[in-house]
Amino acid sequence: MARDLYDIISDRREESFDPPFRREGSDDAFLQLVIQPIYNVIHNEATMSKRGTVSHSKWRNYDDLNEYFWSKKCFKQLGWPMDPASDFFADPTKTKNDIERHDHSMSRRRMSKTNFVEVRTFLHLFRSFDRMWAFFILAFQAMVIIAWSPSGSLSAIFEPAVFRNVMTIFITAAFLNFLQATLEIVLNWKAWRSLVCSQMIRHVLKFVVAIGWLIILPVTYSSSIQNPTGLIKFFSNWIGNFQSQSIYNFAVALYMLPNIFSALFFIFLPMRRALERSNSRIVRFLLWWTQPKLYVARGMYEDTCSLLKYTTFWILLLICKLAFSYYVEISPLVGPTRTIMFLGRGKYIWHEFFPYLQHNLGVVFTIWAPIVMVYLMDTQIWYAIFSTICGGVNGAFSRLGEIRTLGMLRSRFEAIPTAFGKHLVPGHGSQPKRREREKEDKNLHIDKFSDIWNAFIISLRDEDLINNRERDLLIVPSSAGDTSVFQWPPFLLASKIPMALDMAKSVKKRDEELRKRINQDPYTFYAVIECYETLLNILYSLMAETSDKKVVDRIRESLEDSIERQSLVREFRLDELPQLSAKFDKLLTLLLKTEEEHDTTIKTQIANLLQDTMEIITQDIMKNGQGILKDENRDNQLFANLNLDSIKDEAWREKCVRLQLLLTTKESAIYVPTNLEARRRITFFANSLFMKMPRAPQVRSMMSFSVLTPYFKEEVLFSTEDLHKKNEDGISILFYLRKIYPDEWKNCLERIKFVPKDEESLKSRMDEISPWASYRGQTLTRTVRGMMYYRRALEIQCIQDKIDI
């Protein structure tokens, strides 16, 4: 096989490369000689399993077959080309009589399982989590001993008698270690034939050492008893040459030595990494004794800071858990337990389950059993509490919930371009005088953010999650630079102009009051400035005569002069501004409906509106504005000659649409967008900009990547027949989707500019309706669209990278 693969890779000539399958003389020889035999084995084993009801020891599963092909005996037993008489291909479904009736080539023994048969028992709970169970049991024993002392306080541990009793936890630890070593052998007994010799020796030595410590620790501790008897007295006299207490302490120190070294290696990670990468025989022996050799992720650990945070988390959790268990669960039961144990045995009429137990141990067991169960299980509750607290604190510092609602999005939107520039705009560390370029970089970040934000909003519109009006309210205008303030999305400025007009109507005395009320909301200030400057820009673009522009110049100069002298309230009737706003609304509506710049009727209507507007300004609003129109000597009527060349300019029309939204939107845009999915995406996009993430590199510095998705006989797009086919309830897929997504269906019809008369009329636009239904009913279609968004995002980033060059 390896030689054939080498011949394929080395591109040898046809005549020199003759694979064994081609020699069979059939085009499907590989399928017949390799694929089909292996498939038959898998099929027979699946039949043997009887859909998983047969014991797992009776049939070979995927892991057994996979391990067989990774082993060396695969080449020895199967050969190449594969030997069909191998035991691997023996049919497990044939009985012994069936085999005897066939020729000798079929009378072969079926190969057994490659992996060992796992012993399934509840004892795996202790074997898998032995350190956790051992810690809880030893801690419970120590707390009971301390609570049973005369004082019952934690300080009693420093008393010699109590401390000596607490030291018995090491005897319990030796017993638990012996139990663990025994379970390792018992539960892995069926795997011994697959273990290497070093692993067998390790299990046996651990069992022997566990037995040794199980004998040494009780014997050395027994020497500290005042009047030992029996076997304890014999061993105490046998080691009587040593001081009783010191030898036990020495034994405990030796017993704890491996754990002390493990703790040191756990704390000092560089030392642990160096030891695991070392090939010294002594180091390898020590690691062999402590843990099996690792081939995957060897020497790879988390950094020291993460380890300290993880360790601190569990130390604090266990301190709280043990303190609660001692003061709430264990200590309050000690007094009642003593009273029950020293009570005399009474005579009961009812049946006694344990009539011969001394000191009422049955009652004591009944009282303590629930406490022990709660003690062993309440760690999950403490873990949930600490995880919630630490997760909340960590999330707050990581700014995971910086923007959770649309209200928070509006309040923090001004900071979003800065966050975007911080994370998604490639840095230029080699640039000198970086502080001098901060303002320029900020403006550049705002421009780049506008492009990304607009592409994001347009994608929502293409998916029919928002309608045209919501798109216009959410999008940032592309005609930047026409105003002295940044043009924020209209949904932030919605209803600000009507509110400012109401403020102007209510102010009667001083300009300072009006200025203060407008400046309270920064978006109101931005809306007023942008509306004023955009309106002037549109008016100037419509005027072809210099005399008409002079009229507007005089009005503008008079207005700006009164603002500078703080006499706006005295010189202008601000309560007439709503009337002016209505005229501008009509003018913008007429301009947006106009498609031909040479239409005489449209020009006349626009001129009449402009004349009415000028009369309102000079006669109704300005107290001293009558002379502005009279001073101009002209032969023609005012605004008789207009320039409508800008009507077909998309940027100019976009400007008119935005200005009309600012003037006419009176309701708050707090519910824009209304679609829940669109809201989720917008808040997630904005919130992700404040999260901790590495700075984005330039596209040319990124590593290439590919995105794949599985596909096999799956519908991608619904056909017309599929969408209109009715089920047994008389409901079609299209009807169902229209009822589930009514707002998105309405947005789709608005996008394709189609108003259906009946169900039959929909069939004429199925080329556009079918993708809409597929994006909501086919998972693969949505997956492919999401994959293509990667390409679009990279294209936009490439364009932005070119701006920096």
Whether the pLDDT of residue 57 is over 50: the answer is yes
Q: Stretch 171-195: mean pLDDT, rounded?
A: 84
Query: Are the beta carbons of 475 and 489 closer than 8 angstroms?
Result: yes
Strand positions, DSSP E, 104-238: none
Query: Distance (Å, rounded) from C-alpha 213 to C-alpha 219?
Result: 10
Handedness of CA 671, 676, 678, 682 (dihedral sign): positive
Long-range CB contact pairs, 383-386, < 8 A, 24+? 383/317, 386/313, 386/316, 386/317, 386/320
The amino acid present at 292, given as its one-letter code, is P
Q: Give the closest residue to 135 by CA, choosing from 165, 182, 172.
A: 172
**DSSP calls for 758-796:** STGGGGGGHHHHHHHHHHHH-HHHHHHHHHHHHHHHHHH
Give me the helices (H) in 594-719, please: 600-615, 626-630, 650-664, 676-688
Question: For the whole model, what pTM was predicted?
Answer: 0.67
Residue 543: phi and psi, rounded to 5, are -90, 130
Above pLDDT 70, what percent of the chain? 82
Report the SS3 class of residue 682.
helix
pLDDT bracket for residue 316 (50, 70, 90): very high
**What pLDDT is recorded for position 50?**
79
Residue 36: phi and psi, rounded to 5, are -65, -45
543 strand-pairing partners: 642
Q: If you search the block for the tokens 């009807």, which residue do you land on?
A: 735
**What pLDDT is recorded for position 26?**
66
Whether the pLDDT of residue 375 is over 80: the answer is yes
**What pLDDT is recorded for position 603?**
84
> Tens digits of per-residue pLDDT, 533-546?
999 999 988 888 88
**What pLDDT is recorded for position 20?**
58
Query: Distance (Å, rounded) from C-alpha 47 to C-alpha 21?
Result: 29
Diameter of the chain measured on Cα atoms: 135
Maximum average pLDDT range among 18-22, 332-336, 381-385 = 381-385
Handedness of CA 735, 736, 740, 744 (dihedral sign): negative
Query: Are the beta carbons of 92 and 110 closer than 8 angstroms?
Result: yes
Q: Stretch 393-398: mean pLDDT, rounded?
A: 85
Query: Are the beta carbons of 508 and 517 closer than 8 angstroms?
Result: no
Query: Are the beta carbons of 323 and 375 closer than 8 angstroms?
Result: no
Q: Stretch 39-65: mean pLDDT, rounded?
A: 77
pLDDT bracket for residue 176 (50, 70, 90): very high
**What pLDDT is recorded for position 467?**
94
The burial of 611, by beta-carbon neighbours within 10 Å (0-12 exposed, 13-18 middle, 19 or more buried), is given as: middle
Q: Give the start-to-end residue ranges of the domains of the chain.
A: 2-106, 121-267, 302-397, 490-672, 699-804
- Cα 55–chain centre separation: 39
Question: Omega before 673 cis (within 30°)?
Answer: yes
**DSSP calls for 195-210:** S-HHHHHHHHHHHHHH
Above pLDDT 90, what percent of the chain? 22
**What pLDDT is recorded for position 380?**
92
**What pLDDT is recorded for position 99?**
46
Long-range CB contact pairs, 299-305, < 8 A, 24+? 299/273, 301/269, 301/272, 301/273, 303/269, 304/269
- Cα 194–chain centre separation: 41
> Tens digits of per-residue pLDDT, 72-100?
777 777 877 787 788 777 776 664 455 44
**What pLDDT is recorded for position 239?**
47
Question: Omega before 81 cis (within 30°)?
Answer: yes
Structure tokens at 502: 């109401």
Q: Stretch 184-205: mean pLDDT, rounded?
A: 78
Q: Give the closest residue to 470 by CA, choosing from 490, 487, 451, 450.
A: 490
Structure tokens at 265: 């290696």
Rg (CA), the chain: 42
Handedness of CA 257, 258, 262, 263 (dihedral sign): negative
**What pLDDT is recorded for position 505?**
86
∠757-759-762 over CA atoms, to 5°? 80
Query: Distance (Å, rounded) from C-alpha 732 to C-alpha 725?
Result: 5
Rounded to 5, what percent of the chain is helix, strand, coil?
Answer: 70, 0, 30
> Tens digits of per-residue pLDDT, 235-270?
445 444 444 456 888 888 899 888 888 888 778 878
Query: Distance (Å, rounded) from C-alpha 165 to C-alpha 145?
Result: 7
**What pLDDT is recorded for position 235?**
46
Query: Distance (Å, rounded) from C-alpha 179 to C-alpha 153?
Result: 32
Query: Distance (Å, rounded) from C-alpha 337 to C-alpha 339?
Result: 5
pLDDT bracket for residue 698 (50, 70, 90): confident
Whether the pLDDT of residue 710 is over 70: the answer is yes
Query: Distance (Å, rounded) from C-alpha 437 to C-alpha 456?
Result: 28
Structure tokens at 545: 């005569």
CB neighbourhood size of 122 (10 A): 6
666's torsion region: left (phi>0), alpha (psi -120 to 50) or beta? alpha
Query: Distance (Å, rounded) from C-alpha 616 to C-alpha 613?
Result: 5
Query: Distance (Å, rounded) from C-alpha 1 to C-alpha 283?
Result: 40
Q: Give the closest residue to 153 by CA, choosing from 161, 162, 141, 165.
A: 162
Q: If you search the block for the tokens 């268990």, which residue do you land on?
A: 325
Whether the pLDDT of residue 219 is over 60: the answer is yes
**What pLDDT is recorded for position 98?**
52
∠772-776-779 over CA atoms, to 5°? 120
pLDDT bracket for residue 509 (50, 70, 90): confident
Residue 334: CB partners within 8 Å, gap ≥ 6? 144, 147, 148, 152
∠677-678-684 over CA atoms, to 5°? 90
Residue 805 DSSP class: -
What b-and-e string marks burial along 295-317, b requiring 16 or more CB atoms within 10 Å of the CB? eeeeeeeeeeeeeeeeeeeeeeb
Q: How far apart are the first and last CA of the chain?
A: 53
What b-and-e string marks burial along 218-245, b requiring 16 or more CB atoms within 10 Å of the CB? bbbbbbbeeebeeebeebbeeeeeeebe
Handedness of CA 95, 96, 101, 107 (dihedral sign): positive
∠377-371-342 over CA atoms, to 5°? 160
- Cα 80–chain centre separation: 48
**Over the chain, what is the mean pLDDT?**
81
Structure tokens at 794: 């990279």
Looking from the CA of 58 toward its CB, the CA atoms found within 13 Å total 12
The burial of 778, by beta-carbon neighbours within 10 Å (0-12 exposed, 13-18 middle, 19 or more buried), is given as: middle
Query: Distance (Å, rounded) from C-alpha 745 to C-alpha 786?
Result: 20
Query: Distance (Å, rounded) from C-alpha 703 to C-alpha 95?
Result: 58
The amino acid present at 385, given as its one-letter code, is I
> Tens digits of per-residue pLDDT, 423-456?
888 865 544 445 555 555 566 678 888 889 999 9
Give me the helices (H) in 50-129, please: 62-70, 73-78, 96-101, 124-128
Whether the pLDDT of residue 230 is over 50: the answer is no
Query: Are the beta carbons of 269 and 301 closer than 8 angstroms?
Result: yes
Residue 690 DSSP class: T
Query: Distance (Å, rounded) from C-alpha 690 to C-alpha 422?
Result: 9
Query: Distance (Å, rounded) from C-alpha 660 to C-alpha 582?
Result: 10
The burial of 88, by beta-carbon neighbours within 10 Å (0-12 exposed, 13-18 middle, 19 or more buried), is given as: buried
